[in-house]
Amino acid sequence: MCTLSPKLVECARNKNIDIITLADVEGISGEPGNFQVAISRRPRYVEARKCNTCGDCVEACPVSLPNEFDRAIGTRKAIFRPYPQAIPNLYGISKAGSPAPCKAACPAGVNAQGYVALIAQGEFKEAYDLIFERCPLPAVCGRVCQHPCQSECNRKDIDEGVSVRDLKRFAADYVYAHRDEFKGAPAAPAEQQKEKVAVIGGGPAGLTAAVDLRRMGYAVTVFEARPLMGGMLRYGIPRYRLAAEVLDQEIKNILDLGIEARTGSRVEKSETLLKPKTNGGSAGGEKFDAVFVAIGAWTTKKLGIPGEDAPQVLPGLKFLHDVNVGGKPAIGPNVLVIGGGDVAVDAARCARRLSGVKAVRLASLEKPGEMPAHSSEAAEALEEGVEFHNGWGPTKVLTDGGTVTGVEFRACTRVFDENRCFSPQFDDAKTTTVRADTVIVTIGQGIDTSTLGTVTTGPGGRVAADKETLATSIAGIFAGGDVVRPSDNQHPKSIALVQCVGSRDTARNAGYCSSICCMSATKEAMVALEHAPGAEISIFCMDIRAFGKEFDQYVNRARDEHKVKYIRAMPSRLVEIPGSKNLRVRYFDENGEEQQKEFDLVVLSVGLRPSAGVRETAERLGLALNEFGFCRTDRLAPVATSRPGIYVAGAFQEPKDIPESVAQASGAAACAMEQLASVRGNLIQRRDYPWERDVTDEDPRRCVACATCVKVCPYGAPMINDLQKAEIQGAKCMGCGSCVAVCPRRAITLRHQEDAQVLAMLDELLVADGGL
């Protein structure tokens, strides 16, 4: 910091240096002396013009994050300044790696906080458009969504989550109700693609995919087996939760984008729709370049218990389907629903609404609070008179002559194991029987894989993103002012620092010297001794390259005064000793004899590598890299890159410390100025200096504008001017010199009667007299 900060301040104060922060250079075009640089800037989330760095925001910010500036040892707030001397001295907000909790929770990634904010400002159409970007069924989702956004809302810590779902419903309903005001469908695709895509399934997944593909410019055809579009929305979700008109409206919106829908056309094998890869195949019927299979999960899992095949045992989805298409399923007055999910509750509530049904009971493995069904749905079901039997697992469907009479249950002691995995356990001794004429089974759904044909199914989930491997702790770092080893937090008595690990090592394509490690290791050793006095420190090195100003004396001090041992050897092996967790270092000494030494802690001076983004940056700028990935420069022109007019400084060229980087940067700046020599001084801003005036008769630094001269002068010649200095107006001055004699600051002179002249005259008169 002490080396860097003054440079930063100097840069910031210079009128002719623009500091562009949060910027990525996207590319450079042009030739030396006339480059165009494309820059993309990331948002600061704080208006730089208004921020005066008072720091009140930091006090108010509730979010603490690891402080990168402290190597994540300390914490900072989400609104922060990287460090107190930061230039520009402004705050910024680091948005958490994930988006807002509501947006992160949304499976469709709808920008929930965005449309809530827009609705708050009365921008309903904009809110609707924002939702539509990610979710083409806003009104539907506004009614039936499970709204994980609401459950994750930060507001829940204060009272309860923002009603995100209802707001979405409102935005959609408002826009549909005021259709005349909001003319124009969502923007048409920018560029038409020639490929055609088939989507199998007209449910929410198929419709969303169709919209996304259509927006990208592909011609989309949706195949729906059932007579109407909507899939589970139409045939699964009960009408009392989602009115058919709302669904029709939204499906119409989607199809209006130019999507073809073929209802009642079941696709038997998805690959029959695909174009043959070679031209040899005969094209029978319509063919597509790609097929998206969104066939939903329409089969109901079976209980796997005796008596299940009785005709009065209905699969839940079939029951819901029948209710939704308007038919009256044949069910008795006593209905038993088995299952604890949303489908179970939907089925139970649907059954409750059917005429002739006297009692609806719902049996689930889970305890009341554990049921996967949404709590509000369950509560409403309870209100409507559905009887809940929690904590029971079915063992047998009781039948009498092929007619169901009831279901036998045993007690469920637990549903989930310690790892929150589904693993029910039962108590066989405790049983009960529930009377029922009709049993509806809703214990989960499956996929009818027949349509998939020979398509191999991959893992169901997303491709797992690579875990971030950013190490938050570094071996050998001094935590909390103490030297401890990371493995067991013991205070080490003997420490080894091994130099040139991964540098000056041609076997690892790292033949270059890492440059800073010799001095860093020496400094670390001295600092470690400050924190752990008496520790024995050895530095294993090929040689010590202490080439900076007074670096050599520093190393000598470490060796002579602090007894740091420099051992000229490259350790060949490092083995942890079981038990003590100490490390044994094996090396060959200068005489070629094998030595072994035990240390409590070993610190590796790992050679610097080009930083991760260097290759990409270099590619964007068109700079050649050397074999190690650093910028390629010529031995005789160490700041010139392979591209004329672009110069390099600092560790991008090769590993180097700060003073060397600064020196090289001066060189690079000088080279850059060479290119600009012909137009030097053209585009710079100069400092504005005060207006100049004639100060012949006064000394401006002496005058204090006491106005004595103004009072004395009989002619009004002196005046106090705009600069708060006395100014003699020559035209008025008669030259009497009165002002000269009265000026308390002796700031006024009279020509030919100046002090020096009068005194010289006096001297001359004395001397001319020949020593009177």
Q: Which residues bind another protein (CB under 8 A)?
A: 712, 714, 734-738, 740-742, 750, 753, 755, 758-759, 761-763, 765-766, 769-770, 772
Work out how close the CB of 701 gets to another protein at its nearest, in angstroms, rounded to a whole number.
19
**Residue placing its CB nearer to another protein in the complex, 507 or 756:** 756
**Residue placing its CB nearer to another protein in the complex, 317 or 748:** 748
Query: Residue 35 and residue 755: Cα distance in Å, rounded?
Result: 61
- What the block records as the tokens of 202 is 């007209």
Shortest distance, CB of residue 752 to another protein, whole angstroms?
9
- 185 vs 761, beta carbon nearer another protein: 761
Of the two residues 477 and 712, which places its CB atom closer to another protein in the complex? 712
- Helix (H) or strand (E) run with residue 720 in it: strand 718-720
Q: CB of residue 771 vs another protein: minimum separation in angstroms?
A: 9
Distance of CA 348 to the CA centre of its chain: 44
Closer of 488 and 769 to another protein (Cβ): 769
User: Which residue lies nearer to another protein by CB, 7 or 746?
Assistant: 746
Q: Is 719 exposed, middle or buried (0-12, 13-18, 19+ CB in 10 A)?
A: middle
Least Cβ distance, residue 758 to another protein (angstroms): 5
Confirm if 654 and 674 have CB atoms less than 8 A apart. no
The token pair at 501 is 């690990």
As measured in angstroms, the least distance from the Cβ of 739 to another protein is 9
- Nearer to another protein by C-beta: 523 or 732? 732
Which single residue is written with the structure tokens 């009377």? 435
Find, among 533, 537, 463, the residue nearest to 499 by Cα: 537
Contacts of 322 (CB under 8 A, 6+ apart): 328, 329
First to last CA, the chain: 72
- Residue of 230, 218, 241, 225 lying closest to 136 (CA atoms): 230
**Nearest distance, CB of residue 769 and another protein, angstroms:** 7
Residue 228 CB neighbour total at 10 angstroms:
17
Instruction: Write down the least CB distance from residue 731 to another protein, Å.
Output: 17
Nearest to 223 by CA among 283, 272, 282: 272
CB of 699 to another protein, least distance (A): 15
- Distance set, CA 329 to CA 323, 343, 357 (Å): 7, 17, 11
Q: What angle do helix axes 342-353 and 375-383 make, rounded to 10 degrees?
A: 20
Rounded to whole angstroms, the Cα distance separating 102 from 96 reads 13
Nearer to another protein, 553 or 753 (CB): 753
Residue 546 CB, shortest distance to another protein, in Å, is 58
Q: Which is nearer to another protein, 463 or 768 (CB)?
A: 768
Nearer Cβ to another protein, position 19 or 758?
758
In this complex, which beta carbon is closest to another protein, that of residue 74 or of residue 735?
735
- H helix intervals, 637-731: 658-675, 708-712
- HSE of 219 in the Cβ direction (CA atoms, 13 Å)? 8
Amino acid at 519: M
CA distance 45 to 58: 14
Q: Which is nearer to another protein, 72 or 742 (CB)?
A: 742
CB of 732: closest distance to another protein in angstroms? 13
Compute the least distance from the CB of residue 717 to another protein, in Å.
12
What does R_g of the chain's alpha carbons equal in angstroms?
42
Cite the beta strand spans of 304-459 per DSSP E. 313-315, 334-338, 359-364, 387-390, 392-400, 403-416, 422-435, 438-441, 445-446
Write out the DSSP string of 533-592: TT-EEEEEES-----STTHHHHHHHHHHTS--EEEE----EEEEPTTT--EEEEEE-TTS
Q: Tell me the C-alpha distance between 124 and 112, whole Å.
A: 13
State in angstroms the smallest separation of the CB of 689 from another protein. 34
Q: Minimum Å distance from CB 755 to another protein? A: 7
Q: Give the CB-side neighbour count of residue 179, counting CA atoms within 13 A.
A: 6
Complex with another protein: residue 491 or 746, whichever CB lies closer: 746
